[in-house]
Chain A
């Protein structure tokens, strides 16, 4: 089955760290760019980070730049998001998302999403 499964979320104190994982199955991870997108409680969607298929290109939202690191291990079929110096405003569901391909051209859209992992930053 083609799917993404996130893990690693939880309750963390302000200033703390977490490492989120996204396990992929049913497709060849090395073919795809991957993203993390988050959604604060009752709010809209916010793109967080993007990693190219070979990890040669990485981009971050300004809101997390310098505090977050996206990485991938294609051999382990996994994508990661390391988050440091967490703030209350980082509280959200974090989704791993696959960048869509149309005839081997990246569409810029997210065609596959995980169910998300919840991160709560609170003392």
Chain B
């Protein structure tokens, strides 16, 4: 199974500042056939289902604000919120779909400092 780890477990950022979350996979999630990393990022607010932010490591889902960006390849990935807004307070998860079982990271809680 591919194990996903995230750091930090939680972070507090001032409004307008940058928030950076890292995600590591225990093996590469890069598909050589199409050169796509099968890594997605989700945002989950209390009492709500997760919301897809990023897929293929760096492709922003339609309707997601451009302050959210994803980067990385292979085994190391980053989600960046360029200017944190109050509505960004949530738990963020990474997820790999390179192989079954599909696995999620443990989550990173983002709060306002």
Q: Which residues of A contact B (CB under 8 A)?
A: 35, 44-47, 50, 59, 61-62, 95, 100, 102, 105, 107-111, 113-116
A108 touches B55 (CB 8 A): yes
With A45-B95, A102-B59 as contacts: A109 and B104 at CB distance below 8 Å: no
Chain A residue nearest to B1 (CB atoms) is A62
What 16 additional pairs, Cβ within 8 angstroms, besides A59-B100, A107-B40, A110-B40? A35-B102, A44-B107, A45-B44, A45-B107, A61-B101, A62-B101, A100-B55, A102-B55, A108-B40, A108-B102, A109-B40, A109-B52, A109-B55, A110-B42, A114-B49, A115-B49
User: Residues of A contacting B83 with CB < 8 Å?
Assistant: none
A116 touches B49 (CB 8 A): yes
B106 touches A111 (CB 8 A): no
B106 touches A44 (CB 8 A): yes
Chain A residue nearest to B44 (CB atoms) is A45
B56 touches A107 (CB 8 A): yes
Chain B residue nearest to A4 (CB atoms) is B49
User: Residues of A contacting B71 with CB < 8 Å?
Assistant: none
Chain B residue nearest to A6 (CB atoms) is B49
Which residues in chain B, 43-73, are within 8 Å of chain A measured between CB atoms? 44, 49-52, 55-56, 59, 61
Interface residue B103 (Cβ < 8 Å from any Cβ of A): yes
B104 touches A46 (CB 8 A): yes
B97 touches A108 (CB 8 A): yes
A64 to chain B, nearest CB (A): 10
